[in-house]
């Protein structure tokens, strides 16, 4: 009988699981600034957990 090694699923931090599901914890990174690409004022938000940034046009 072969020894059964329990399968251990690597558990990522809970926060990242939420992030993968699109539930980021956005925090205001910087006040409104002018985005040259969009040609208008935007605010930058950064996720506290995964560090992803999101730019939102005003």
Residues that bind Zn ion (CB under 5 A): 19, 24, 47, 49-50, 52
Nearest distance, CB of residue 28 and Zn ion, angstroms? 14
Provide the CA 8 distance to its chain's centre, in angstroms.
25
Nearest distance, CB of residue 52 and Zn ion, angstroms? 5
Nearer residue to Zn ion within complex by CB, 12 or 40: 12
Give residue 39's region: left, alpha or beta (phi > 0; psi -120 to 50).
left
Nearer residue to Zn ion within complex by CB, 17 or 30: 17
Q: Are 24 and 54 in contact (CB under 8 A)?
A: yes
């Amino acid at each position: 009988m072969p020894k059964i090694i329990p399968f251990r699923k690597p558990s990522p931090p809970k926060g990242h699981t939420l992030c993968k599901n699109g539930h980021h914890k956005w925090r205001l990174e910087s006040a409104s600034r002018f985005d040259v690409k969009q040609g208008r004022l935007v605010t930058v938000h950064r996720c506290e957990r995964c560090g992803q940034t999101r730019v939102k046009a005003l």
